[in-house]
Structure formats: structure tokens, C-alpha cells
């Protein structure tokens, strides 16, 4: 049997079990943007690197306000959310030159990898051939760049 060691995943697993607060609320309040991988602070929404990305450059857009769904956001929050997603796509095109994107809105714990009652959107850059045999045969995704490097490339571009 082959083993792929991913010791960094234990932090996610342990935090998910004990998490009583909302990291999408907590991280912007800490004012440690580089340490928390916050790339952009808009008026009503912000951009953060996904700490468990599908691909290099995988971003999340979230409102500062703790709201569960689109229907609970104000019209201004929804409009700003789409504008920030558009801005994130523009920056990713400039920096990484992807051939496409996956975007999606997560609402509810089951849809958002354990994030309960804080809507957020994912922006995932995609390239031809970025899905190789590893996810298909080994149920493993290979990320080709460290979060720190991705943050440095995208920092200041918004």
C-alpha cells in the first residue's frame, strides 16, 4: 500500500472538530493580513487565500458580516461580493494566466467544508492538464506552489 504523507492536514481536522467560532469572521478582525493570507479588503467583502486549495491561486471571497446566504446579504453586500470576485479573476488572469476558472458560492456547513452560516465564494484558476492521474487514481491533489509564494505573487495586485 502506498502512503502519501500530508501532516499539515491534521491542523485542519483538529480545528474542524473544536471550532466554535468562525474563521471568516475571526481572521479579518486580527489585522494580521499577511499571516492570515488576506489579500484584499474591500468595503463589504474581502479576499483570502484558501489554506486548503484545489489549485495554486485558489481564493475565497467572503463578506465581513456573518451571514448565511445570498438572501441574507444586503443588496450592497451582494453587489460588492460579485465585484470582488470579478477583481479576483482579473488579478489571477494577470498573475497566473489560467485558461479558465471555477467559481462557486458556498452556503451552509455541508456546502462549505464545515463553515457554518458564513457565505463565501471560491475562485479557482484552472489550466489544461491541471487534473492529472493523482486525483483519479490516488484521490490526491498535487498543489504546485506553497501558500507563502502564492501570497507574495498576489499581494499588492488588488
CB neighbours of residue 132 within 10 Å: 11
Contact 40, 64 (CB under 8 A): no
pLDDT at 125: 95
**Which domains, ranges and CATH numbers included, belong to the chain?**
21-154 (3.30.428.10)
**pLDDT of 41 strictly over 50:** yes
Is residue 120 flagged as an active site residue? Answer: yes
Most confident stretch, 16-30, 40-54, 136-150 = 40-54
How far is the C-alpha of 47 from the C-alpha of 84, rounded, in Å? Answer: 8
Across 14-40, average pLDDT: 86
- Take residue 26 and report the three cell numbers written for it: 475571526
Name the active-site residue from 58, 118, 120, 122: 120
pLDDT at 87: 98
**Residue 137 confidence class, pLDDT cut points 50, 70, 90:** very low
Amino acid at each position: 500500500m502506498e502512503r502519501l504523507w500530508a501532516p499539515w492536514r491534521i491542523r485542519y481536522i483538529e480545528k474542524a472538530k473544536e471550532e466554535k467560532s468562525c474563521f471568516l469572521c475571526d481572521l479579518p478582525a486580527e489585522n494580521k493580513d499577511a499571516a492570515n493570507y488576506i489579500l484584499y479588503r474591500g468595503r463589504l467583502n474581502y479576499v483570502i487565500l484558501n489554506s486548503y486549495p484545489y489549485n495554486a491561486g485558489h481564493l475565497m471571497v467572503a463578506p465581513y458580516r456573518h451571514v448565511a446566504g445570498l438572501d441574507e446579504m444586503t443588496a450592497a453586500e451582494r453587489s460588492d461580493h460579485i465585484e470582488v470576485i470579478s477583481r479576483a479573476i482579473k488579478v489571477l488572469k494577470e498573475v497566473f494566466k489560467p485558461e479558465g476558472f471555477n467559481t462557486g458560492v458556498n452556503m451552509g456547513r455541508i456546502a462549505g467544508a464545515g463553515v457554518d452560516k458564513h457565505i463565501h465564494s471560491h475562485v479557482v484558476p484552472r489550466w489544461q492538464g491541471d487534473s492529472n492521474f493523482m486525483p483519479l487514481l490516488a484521490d490526491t491533489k498535487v498543489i504546485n506552489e506553497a501558500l507563502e509564494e502564492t501570497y507574495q505573487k498576489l499581494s499588492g495586485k488588488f
